[in-house]
Structure 1
Amino acid sequence: MNPIAALIIRSFVAVPVTLITWLICYFPLDFTFFGSTLFAILGGVLTHVILASFQSVSYIKKHQLTRKEYRYIKKNLKEAKLKIKRLNKSIFKIRDIYSVKQRIDINRITKKIHKMTSKEPRRFYKAEEFYFSHLDSLVELTEKYSFLSSQPKQNREMGQSLIETRRTLNELSKVIEEDLYRVISDDIETLNFEIDVAKHTIQKKKDMKFPEENRWLK
């Protein structure tokens, strides 16, 4: 579940619980104002914590993960998010017009992979190469490229390094395209299966509607 949506749900439940607890403590139980407020806050916090725990357990079960797996994936996704921020910062510092499309593609694909694996954590296992190798390479190369291309004076050696880095980034952009394809491979297989089933159903209905005509065509 989206963290913001989960927080809204918890707050939507915790606030009324807090208010009701205060009213019960202050009026029927005749607690002091301070005591009623203290119990009301504790009731709201406890409700918030219980709901957060329930949401976490439900989320883990939904995605068929253990707590250990979820912590491991969550940790790596958090680290990857910082790397992607560094990557995008470097990308948008580059003023080289020759690599505009390449940089846009890299930005789009990296964000897409991270978004999909954050939404469905089990996909992380299909993107381990991206997170543990390809993303690091992209960050290092774009930061070096950004630094070199920003220099006011460039000699022949620097120019050659920029060309080589641009070529390597182009190859890496193709590699992360394959990473993205790997992440969505199950969806593609499912879609192809559903297409085959739909075609079979359509053909079956045609056969039932025009049995004689189809028999002669065969």
Structure 2
Amino acid sequence: MSEVVQTFIRHCLNIPIMITSWFVFFFSTQSGFFWSSALAIGVYIVSNFTIKKIQQKRIMKKHQMTLSEYFHIQQQLKEANKKIKALNSQYLKVRSISSFKQLFEMNRLAKRIISIVKSNPKKFYQAENFFYAHLDSAVELTSKYTLLVSQPVKNKDMKLALQDTRDTLESISTVMEEDLHSVLASDVELLKMELDFAKLSVKQSEKPLYLKGESEDERKVIEYK
């Protein structure tokens, strides 16, 4: 379940609770409009916090994670989203279609990996290199590349540095694609197992049922007649 869906569910639960509590405070305790509203907002905050903790515990139980693991991964996801924003800010600074495509591809791969880890935090461990190194390198090199390419004067050394940076970014894009494959590897294996099981089930269902003591040759003779 995505974070957006969880937030939506919390609001759907908390708004009726807040409205009900306002009526209770206003009519039962004679608190007045202002204090009833303040208390109802307080109930909303407490209710939202409680439901959020319950959702987090369910996620940790589902993926067999400890509290420290869960919050560490959530922190890494927040940091990764900040880096994605930094990467997005470079779009208007690139000067060629090839560089734009390269940036777009890295952005697409990074967002896909982050989305998968958000859905299944346990997959973070299959993409640790992406979070700790590859995304950082992509952001840093892209930033330096756009800075150099925007300079009006370029000597031979700068041109060589720009070409080397483009080649390195291409390599990073390839590595990020491998990171995505690593994250999806367990899903692919699971799909293969399910396909094998489905094929086996289909084959078994296609086999004819024989009466007790009846052989395949006897069945063929009966069908021939």
Superposed CA deviations along residues 103-150 of structure 1, whole A, max 9, x for unmatched, are: 222121111111111221111110001111111111121111111111
SS in 2 for 1:184: helix
The DSSP-based 3-state class of the residue aligned with 1:64 is coil
Map of 1:52 onto structure 2: 52
Q: What is residue 3 of structure 1 aligned with on the other side?
A: 3
Cα separation, partners in 2 of 1:46 and 1:207, compared to 1, 3 Å: same
Secondary structure of residue in 2 paired with 1:163: helix
Q: How does 1:106-185 map to 2 (within 5 A)?
A: 106-185=106-185
CA 1:167 to 1:5, structure 2 compared with 1: closer, same or farther past 3 Å?
same
**Shift of residue 74, structure 1, vs aligned partner:** 0.9
Deviations 1:140-189 (A, max 9, x none): 21111111111122111111111111111111111111111000000010
Match of 1:202 in 2: 202
Task: Measure, in 1, the Cα distance between the counterparts of 2:160 and 2:29.
Answer: 81
Alpha-carbon distance change, 201 to 150 in structure 1, aligned in 2, over 3 angstroms: same
Q: Specify the structure having the higher radius of gyration (Cα).
A: 2
- TM-score calculated relative to the size of structure 2: 0.83
- Seen in structure 2, the aligned counterparts of structure 1 residues 189 and 42 have a Cα distance that, compared at 3 Å, is same
Q: Which amino acid letter does the alignment assign opposite residue 134 of structure 1? A: H
Q: 2:31 aligns to what?
A: 32
For residues 9-41 of structure 1, the C-alpha deviation after alignment (integer angstroms, 9 at most, x for no partner) is 2232223223323333443x4523155444434
**Is 1:91–1:142's contact at 8 Å kept on the other side of the alignment?**
no
Q: Which runs of 5 or more residues in structure 2 are unaligned? A: 210-215, 221-225
The number of equivalent residue pairs is 211
Conserved 8 A contact 1:83-1:136: yes
2-structure distance, mates of 1:56, 1:94: 40
Q: Work out the CA distance in 2 between the residues paired with 1:80 and 1:30.
A: 48
Partner of 1:75: 75
Could you list the runs of 5+ residues in structure 1 that have no partner in the other structure?
none
Percent identity (aligned): 37
Q: Does structure 1 residue 94 correspond to structure 2 residue 94? A: yes
